[in-house]
Amino acid sequence: MLDMIIIDGLSFSLPLFIMAIGGIYSEKSGITNLALEGFQGFGAFTGAFVTVYLYGIFGAESSVPYYAGFICAVIGGGIFALLHALLCVKFKADQVISGVVMNILAMALTSFLTKRINASFFGNDANKFMLSASARITVPGLCDIPVIGAAFRDIYPFEIMILVVAIVMWYVMYRTVYGMRLRACGDNPHSADAAGINVYSVRTIAVFISGCLSGIAGMSFAYSVSANFSPDIYLGYGYLSIAALIFGNWSILPALFACLMFGFARSMGAAAIHQLGLPSSYNDLVRTLPYVLTLLLLVFFGKSNRSPRALGQIYDKGQR
């Protein structure tokens, strides 16, 4: 019971967390990112396609398709994100509109391509890529600790991947020159430019990174939620991670706590409802919690919640 709460909570929070980091990168550089939903979907699509393709070469038991799938999800999400960067940075489109359009485009493109690819590569007319179940890792020794041990039991390999990537991303954001420049671009692009930083390229890279990280998240959801890629992956988790990053005040560590809270609220709610013998539709009541909390936080602590100062502003070199 308690084990299930911890295992399910972690496998949901961590993908959410890596996507929220992606959002933080983009928003800290000054680009509003509502397109996370589309990025994760497109990443999952490329990853799932490569994985299913490699099943045919290496067999479904090999771990090559699994990791190759994740790498391709990262690349796919990143490349798709470049389109958002192109619209926002180069064409100076409104960032909110571009984000919404990216979501619509990702959904249309992936459902179209999934059908086409299934027809021409795999000779069926399904609208999804079936993945085999992900392997689970149990850390010997640590898993025997009472209660906390569950955190080391039945771990998806992607959870470890996400933690490693998250630490690297934290280091890049707060301890490197690029990270500092990125934060400067989000707060005051004009002085950043005056200091010799190329605002356009910093922002483009930031959006690219957010696409890459969302790709990891999308692929993880494809494994943990449904074990396939289908257009059903657009369940609004992208928006949930936006809520998490706002809740975390655009910083990585608080966002982790927000994601853990959302994830555990979800798994605890599900467990409680199961325990009380209520129908599973009551889960939907629990799922409103993250959004209600975020909204309340904004209402009551809106003053201390600081978004990057130049968030959403189109940067034009010639403008003062």
CB of 119 to other proteins, least distance (A): 8
Indicate the helix (H) or strand (E) that contains 289.
Answer: helix 289-301
Give min distance, CB of 285 to other proteins, in A. 5
Residue spans of beta strands (DSSP E) within the chain: 129-130, 228-229
Interacting residue with other proteins among 285, 306, 316, 317 (CB under 8 A): 285
- Residue 318 touching other proteins (CB under 8 A): no
Site for other proteins in 213-252 (CB under 8 A): 236, 239-240, 242-243, 246
In whole angstroms, the minimum distance from the beta carbon of 125 to other proteins comes to 9
Q: How far is the CB of 42 from other proteins (least distance, A)?
A: 12
**Total Cβ atoms within 10 A of residue 288:** 10
Measured distance CA(261)–CA(267) in Å, rounded = 10
- The end-to-end CA distance of the chain, in Å, is 59
DSSP letter assigned to residue 155 = B
Question: How far is it, in rounded angstroms, from Cα 218 to Cα 162?
Answer: 12
Nearest Cα neighbor of 42 from 111, 89, 96, 100 is: 111
Report, in Å, the least distance between residue 300 CB and other proteins. Answer: 8
Provide the 10 A C-beta neighbour count for residue 312: 15
What is the contact mask toward other proteins in residues 56 to 95, using x (rule: CB under 8 A)? ---------------------------x---x---xxxx-
Among 19, 52, 54, 101, binds other proteins (CB under 8 A): 101
Beta-bridged to residue 137, according to DSSP, are 155
Window 12 to 51, contacts with other proteins (CB under 8 A): 32, 34
Helices marked H in 29-156: 36-58, 64-85, 95-120
* # of chain residues touching other proteins (CB under 8 A): 46
Q: For residue 246, which of 298, 198, 191 has the smallest C-alpha distance?
A: 298
Interface with other proteins by CB under 8 A: which range of 128-136, 155-163, 190-198, 287-295? 287-295
Closest CB 40 distance from other proteins, rounded Å: 16
* Cβ proximity to other proteins, 132 vs 313, nearer residue: 313
Member of 68, 71, 82, 100 binding other proteins (CB under 8 A): 100
What's 90's DSSP letter?
A: I
Sign of CA dihedral 285, 290, 291, 295: positive
Binding stretches for other proteins (CB under 8 A): 32, 34, 83, 87, 91-94, 96-98, 100-101, 103-105, 107-109, 111-112, 115-116, 236, 239-240, 242-243, 246, 279, 281-282, 284-285, 287-288, 291-292, 294-295, 298-299, 302, 307, 312-313
